[in-house]
Chain A
Amino acid sequence: MKHRALWKLAAIVVILLVAGIVPAPRDEVQLRIGSKKFTESVILGEVLRLLDEQAGLNVVHYREFGGTRIVFDALVAGEIDAYPEYTGTILGEILAGKEVTEAKSMRQELAKLGIGVSESLGFNNTYALALTHARADELGVKTISDLVRHPELQFALTHEFLDRADCWPALLKAYDLPQKKVVGVDHDIAYRQLISGEVDVIDVYSTDAVIRQADLVLLEDDRQVFPRYEAVWLFRKDTANRYPAFRQAIEQTERAIRETEMQALNDRVESRTASESETAALFLAEKLGVRLEVASTSYWRMIVRHTVEHLELVRQSLLPAIVVGVALGVFCQRWPSAGRGVLAGVGLLQTIPSLALLVLLLPVVAWLGYRSIGEGAVTAIVALFCYALMPIVRNTYTGLEAIPRGVVESATVLGLSQSSRLAEIELPIALPTILAGIRTAGVQCVGFATLGAIIGAGGLGQPILRGIRVSDPKLVLAGAIPAALLALALQVLLDLLEWGVVPRGLKRRQARSE
């Protein structure tokens, strides 16, 4: 009886923590395939996933979750077991600085890391510079050497292309290109800029579907700067030893795909004729005679799945943040000198750009021994947790500070202990302000969670990413609209909660002060 309020507070804390931390049940995953954020990589990932699945393995595919460095590091760290890569990238990028030039020594170097390399999948997807047909004719350029005569040309190159030692820096050196107007943009945006005439030259992969669709001209690499980019699998040798079916699946795809076939597959996805899964299944059926059922997921099922993932992210970050945030807020108010540091600290956390925070957290989470990418989504959850803290801490602090001194002192002289006073008097009086903080944190959290898709955490960011990649506004909306509705729903839910738990005495006061 005496400590009823304290028990109630303890119960709320336990419920929030348990509800927030308990992981959702999931099947044990045996194999994880990764892919980089372009269509071909995702299709190849799906091909391998379907083959493994057909062989009875429980396999997941982290689609489009990063560039070379992130995906390769994930492979070495054991976060994924295989992903499609290109020999040129391996030599020029992954093993750059190791003076490796031939296939054999490449295999040896990677073997040291426990990584195996498959045979070529059958096609060469090298880098190329592209112009629209019309522009190329107008300028009369056919080779990269011809570009030297047109220093005024505007280039839009992908960041990866600009940074890689075997791409832009190598081109500059070999051809002595004079162009000054060079900007770094996303692959998909560069295409659109090229077609709209905003830029003149972009970098492409030679199997890109859009080359055919948009009637682009690839400039001949007359000085042979670009290395060969044979598609291969990079895979973990220990996984291949553990699951012979996985090794067999890899072998099945070796020398199976020609360049034009790959272009056609890419085209199917990018023209939105079929999803990556359906395209991969079609290829398996036609070329390898592997028949399998690909559940053609409807839009609604896809949205529901991603919404559930999204809610998972919000649940696991927001609920613990409420407990920790309120506790920190109380701490700040009780010990103001130390509290200033805490307030500054959580404020600082919020100023870190969200994308940067995710990337900065990757190695920390991995170092702590958690999977930093993919299922479980620890990195995304930690990042969201950090963002959610600030409004909750601040509002708890403000709410407690705003209680008139006479009220607190009356409680003290009545003989309430510190803890009873907190549980029975101070927190309940500050409740409307605390709830407002939780509401802000929650709505922010729903928005930020869309970024989780970048590191394979799923959620409604996934369709947005895919939509941008295949220029499908419908897909972008399929992620953006439910995310907005979710934020709205959370807001309404918290409003209802406030209406339900805040006593009349406090509502009046609030209404009057507003």
Chain B
Amino acid sequence: MLELREVTKLYAGATVVAPLTLSVPAGEVLVLLGPSGCGKTTILRMIAGLVTPTSGEITVDGLPLSNATIGQVRRKLGYVIQEGGLFPHLTARANIVLMARHVGWSRERMNRRLVELEEMTAFPPDALDRYPTELSGGQRQRVSLMRALILEPSLLLLDEPLGALDPLIRAGLQRDLKTAFARSGATVVLVTHDLVEASWFADRVCVLETGRVVQEGPFAEIVERPASQFVREFVNSQVVAS
């Protein structure tokens, strides 16, 4: 579904992403795990077409990413960031249906899809006509997720979607997100520095250190058989902390 071949990114001569080859089959939930500055967000931004790789190739559903195909690729993408990135001048509803309106959906179709999404994300329907500033942090992330899901993307990209939330809200949203991933059937790439999130969501985890994948596999394997001193320390630091 998603292929990265020898993808690198240099900023002013410094390597941010070292040659990276990665293949994500359809329906998999892949977690990019690592401390800040490890290049995980840059990888996600390259897939979203916000950052151009210095070399290498990215294909989504067999479509190589380039200036010519970026529009087509984005049709297949859903993108959720830490603070939600909601449009403050639009209500929750208008945020969600923006792209559906652009591709010419009928009002009935939009409403039907809205009901599905509300259910999928456990969003209170009466909050749909509020503006982002009038929503709680958890509700904002749910709106962001609904906005990403409305056109039924085949690839969902999430950058620390739970990062800005307090623990209680986090637990609830974490549960609802997982349900939503399963029901949408999309391939998911999720970026986080949090072991708990990784364990909760991941079919497979990639641990990154300064632009390099240092270990790749199921979550249990990473905890039980860390491939390097770095991975061991990274895992232990969070176990101790929690």
A residues near B (Cβ < 8 Å) are 1-2, 404, 406-407, 409-416, 420, 424-425, 428-429, 431, 502-506, 508-509, 512
- Whether A508 contacts B48 in the complex (CB less than 8 A), given A1-B104, A411-B87, comes out as no
A-B contact count (CB 8 A): 84
A60 smallest CB distance to B (angstroms): 49
Contact yes or no, A404 B85, CB < 8 A: yes
Partner of A508 from the list B83, B98, B133 (CB cut-off 8 Å) is B133
The residue on A at minimum CB distance from B88 is: A505
Nearest 6 interchain pairs by C-beta: A505-B131, A410-B85, A406-B85, A413-B79, A415-B74, A508-B133
User: Does B112 have its Cβ within 8 Å of any Cβ on chain A?
Assistant: no
Contact yes or no, A503 B131, CB < 8 A: yes
A141 smallest CB distance to B (angstroms): 76
Complex Cα distance, B134 from A504, in Å, reads 10
- Whether A407 contacts B101 in the complex (CB less than 8 A), given A414-B79, A415-B71, A415-B75, comes out as no
Chain B 123-138 residues near chain A, CB threshold 8 A? 131-134
Contact yes or no, B79 A410, CB < 8 A: yes
User: Does B223 have its Cβ within 8 Å of any Cβ on chain A?
Assistant: no
Q: Which residues of A contact B101 (CB under 8 A)?
A: 1-2
**New A-B contacts (6) at CB < 8 Å, excluding given A409-B79, A506-B89, A509-B88:** A406-B82, A409-B50, A410-B87, A424-B98, A504-B131, A505-B88
Contact yes or no, A508 B131, CB < 8 A: yes
Partner of A414 from the list B84, B88, B99, B134 (CB cut-off 8 Å) is B99
Chain B contributes a number of interface residues (CB within 8 A of A) equal to: 32
Q: Which residues of B contact A431 (CB under 8 A)?
A: 89
User: Does B183 have its Cβ within 8 Å of any Cβ on chain A?
Assistant: no
A151 smallest CB distance to B (angstroms): 73
Q: Which residues of B contact A1 (CB under 8 A)?
A: 101, 104
- Whether A503 contacts B74 in the complex (CB less than 8 A), given A1-B104, A406-B82, A407-B85, comes out as no
Q: Which residues of B contact A503 (CB under 8 A)?
A: 89-90, 131
Contact yes or no, A505 B91, CB < 8 A: yes
Q: Which residues of A contact B74 (CB under 8 A)?
A: 413-415
Q: Which residues of B contact A412 (CB under 8 A)?
A: 49-50
Contact yes or no, B81 A410, CB < 8 A: yes
Q: Which residues of B contact A420 (CB under 8 A)?
A: 102
B49 smallest CB distance to A (angstroms): 7
Q: Which residues of B contact A2 (CB under 8 A)?
A: 101-104
Contact yes or no, A406 B134, CB < 8 A: no
- Whether A413 contacts B49 in the complex (CB less than 8 A), given A420-B102, A504-B131, comes out as yes
Q: Which residues of A contact B104 (CB under 8 A)?
A: 1-2
User: Does B77 have its Cβ within 8 Å of any Cβ on chain A?
Assistant: yes
